[in-house]
A and B are shown apart, each in its own frame.
Chain A
């Protein structure tokens, strides 16, 4: 098997499993899938799910049924930065539709698509619990709130710069 946690990830895996009583290691499945997704390029190929199943000593189907149930697990490849824009009521009445249309225009992609350079994916999501700071989106582990067109431009530029800086 080629997909495997490195030493640091394995230490994290063990500390996650240690949060639950002995014999109840399946309870660590959700946190471990987060770790796997973060470790293996932002999504969960079948190989990654099978690997998690073997680590937790459960059947692969027990992992598949969980990975397909929860919206945060990506079952196909995504861009380097995933824009998850909230479209539920409170965000909608605060103007999320304009923001979504603007992002589509700026990145030239539709919801669910990834830019050709593999940089950005646009995902429409349901309420993220930031209704007072609407419109908003989640990018990775942080929230970008009070979005305006100018702010969207700045955010896109910021992530492009990040990649340039890394290269």
Chain B
């Protein structure tokens, strides 16, 4: 069994309630932070822990905190990003649903460190029942003196408010989230200014992912240095992975980032192998926007080394032969899955979710979907593959926010590693409607483009 820092108590009956959470040692970290530690000391522990943003970008959390501006007389805000919308990702939902007080405790410590008296949880609108669970937990925490005025006699006031979104992937991008929280369309802002200087209501704001803020609790409890000893290199602590697709045991797992990808997929403690005893074809290891990898590049790097479930190892080889840790949304495709069709559903997703602000993304995502649809329906031409490649290149890096990149990468990676499957669809228009390309890629054992 690996180390569990976040989900250790997830199976304790009644842990969702304040009484059980408190009895199990909950709010001890908040007590320690507010009573015994200075604000600087808390930030220092988070920096020492090496904690990286768990939403997808992996930016060091302590550094993000240290950027917040502190102009005299201007309120500051902490905003918890619970908009979890990246296909393949459902870890934050699990954490909020089963351990709401862990998030509240993390938010309290973080709000204290950042000086946020009004902290917001921006939760995706569809998680309506999870919003209710959080609201109930906030009421309990307030009754027991952990939220409200003069918390623990420190003079610090803090209230946490839940804000439900209404269905928009783009609101997971922090400036779009802020716009949405202000009651507007979720159009990302041009940066700079960064939220740390001018964020919510033009006030200094820090936006952190649910899992990142929950991780502050074990960091304060055990100290940043101890936390950093777990894991490997710059991948410190534990990471929640939401595993889905064609596996025996889909679900949310906490890993310590020293486990190999192969063990994660095949061991009974985690995914339990490919469903139905089928063969592994491909995997999208970090949420739908990160590059898809064929089985041979997933389990081993291009250099032939074992690939591990951490930030560095998953990205080994760059986009040519590697992928990314991303949000931890781990999607497995078995031998019967069609790469063209899978890419089409993702392209449709990004077309649907583009906010429409930047032309390359608004127009490009639509064209990628149309061309993929054409190939999938057996009407593709050989020039379509190059056209797709051309479009994705023209989107990447040419938009205000990373949604453009997120839409371009899955298409690029699918063509990079599975071009022969696209060609097969085009050359076998009728056959491709009733049959599947399967594992023909692996006739060529070294499938590594230059």
Chain A residues with a Cβ under 8 A of chain B: 19-21, 24, 26-31, 33-34, 56, 58, 62, 65-66, 69-73, 87-90, 92-94, 125-134, 138, 141-142
Given contacts A21-B118, A71-B166, A134-B244, contact A92 B182 (CB under 8 A): no
**A133 nearest in chain B by CB position:** B250
Interface CB pairs A-B, < 8 A, 12: A30-B183, A31-B163, A65-B185, A73-B166, A89-B349, A90-B288, A94-B246, A125-B167, A126-B353, A127-B85, A129-B93, A132-B244
A125 vs B288: C-alpha distance in the bound complex, in angstroms? 16
Task: Give, as a whole number of angstroms, the nearest-CB distance from B333 to chain A.
Answer: 6
Given contacts A21-B201, A131-B87, contact A70 B349 (CB under 8 A): no
Whether A30 lies near B245 (C-beta < 8 A) is no
A66 vs B89: C-alpha distance in the bound complex, in angstroms? 26
Given contacts A92-B341, A142-B129, contact A70 B168 (CB under 8 A): yes
Q: For chain B, residues 40 to 99, give those with C-beta under 8 angstroms from any C-beta of chain A.
A: 75, 84-90, 93
Count A-B pairs with CB separation below 8 Å.
147
What chain A residues lie within 8 Å of B127 (beta carbons)?
129
**A84 nearest in chain B by CB position:** B126
What chain A residues lie within 8 Å of B116 (beta carbons)?
none
Is B26 part of the binding interface, using a Cβ–Cβ cutoff of 8 Å? Answer: no
Is B345 part of the binding interface, using a Cβ–Cβ cutoff of 8 Å? Answer: yes
Whether B166 lies near A93 (C-beta < 8 A) is no
A34 vs B355: C-alpha distance in the bound complex, in angstroms? 20
Choose among B87, B185, B331 the residue with the greatest number of A CB atoms under 10 Å from its CB: B87
Task: Give, as a whole number of angstroms, the nearest-CB distance from B54 to chain A.
Answer: 15
Task: Give, as a whole number of angstroms, the nearest-CB distance from A39 to chain B.
Answer: 15
A89 vs B84: C-alpha distance in the bound complex, in angstroms? 16
Is B323 part of the binding interface, using a Cβ–Cβ cutoff of 8 Å? Answer: no
What chain B residues lie within 8 Å of A33 (beta carbons)?
166
What chain A residues lie within 8 Å of B334 (beta carbons)?
93
Which of B90, B129, B348, B349 is in CB contact (< 8 Å) with A129? Answer: B90
A18 vs B190: C-alpha distance in the bound complex, in angstroms? 29
Is B128 part of the binding interface, using a Cβ–Cβ cutoff of 8 Å? Answer: yes
Whether A34 lies near B89 (C-beta < 8 A) is no
A134 vs B181: C-alpha distance in the bound complex, in angstroms? 30
Which of B182, B185, B346, B353 is in CB contact (< 8 Å) with A89? Answer: B346
What chain A residues lie within 8 Å of B118 (beta carbons)?
21
A134 vs B125: C-alpha distance in the bound complex, in angstroms? 19
Whether A34 lies near B246 (C-beta < 8 A) is no
Whether B250 lies near A132 (C-beta < 8 A) is yes
What chain A residues lie within 8 Å of B374 (beta carbons)?
none
**B120 nearest in chain A by CB position:** A19
Whether A70 lies near B87 (C-beta < 8 A) is no
A125 vs B126: C-alpha distance in the bound complex, in angstroms? 11
Which of A27, A127, A128 is in CB contact (< 8 Å) with B182? Answer: A27
A90 vs B329: C-alpha distance in the bound complex, in angstroms? 10
Interface string of B342-354 (1 = CB under 8 A from A): 1001101100110
A129 vs B244: C-alpha distance in the bound complex, in angstroms? 11
Whether B245 lies near A90 (C-beta < 8 A) is yes
Given contacts A70-B125, A70-B167, A142-B129, contact A89 B183 (CB under 8 A): no
What chain A residues lie within 8 Å of B87 (beta carbons)?
88-90, 126-127, 131
What chain A residues lie within 8 Å of B337 (beta carbons)?
93
Q: For chain B, residues 158 to 201, give those with C-beta under 8 angstroms from any C-beta of chain A.
A: 161, 163-169, 180-186, 201
A33 vs B252: C-alpha distance in the bound complex, in angstroms? 32
Whether A132 lies near B126 (C-beta < 8 A) is no
Task: Give, as a whole number of angstroms, the nearest-CB distance from B343 to chain A.
Answer: 9
Task: Give, as a whole number of angstroms, the nearest-CB distance from A96 to chain B.
Answer: 9
What chain B residues lie within 8 Å of A133 (beta carbons)?
90, 250
Which of B86, B166, B251, B329 is in CB contact (< 8 Å) with A34? Answer: B166
Q: For chain B, residues 267 to 309, give those with C-beta under 8 angstroms from any C-beta of chain A.
A: 284, 288
What chain B residues lie within 8 Å of A93 (beta carbons)?
245-246, 331, 333-334, 337, 342
Whether B125 lies near A30 (C-beta < 8 A) is yes
Which of A19, A127, A142 is in CB contact (< 8 Å) with B349? Answer: A127
A150 vs B411: C-alpha distance in the bound complex, in angstroms? 36
Task: Give, as a whole number of angstroms, the nearest-CB distance from B280 to chain A.
Answer: 13
Q: Closest 6 interchain pairs by CB?
A: A29-B183, A71-B167, A70-B166, A132-B250, A72-B167, A131-B244
A30 vs B124: C-alpha distance in the bound complex, in angstroms? 11
Whether A129 lies near B85 (C-beta < 8 A) is yes
Given contacts A19-B163, A66-B185, A129-B93, contact A87 B345 (CB under 8 A): yes
A138 vs B125: C-alpha distance in the bound complex, in angstroms? 12
A92 vs B349: C-alpha distance in the bound complex, in angstroms? 12
Whether A69 lies near B126 (C-beta < 8 A) is no
Whether B242 lies near A131 (C-beta < 8 A) is yes
Which of A34, A62, A132 is in CB contact (< 8 Å) with B242? Answer: A132
Whether A69 lies near B168 (C-beta < 8 A) is yes
What chain A residues lie within 8 Å of B75 (beta carbons)?
21
Is B426 part of the binding interface, using a Cβ–Cβ cutoff of 8 Å? Answer: no
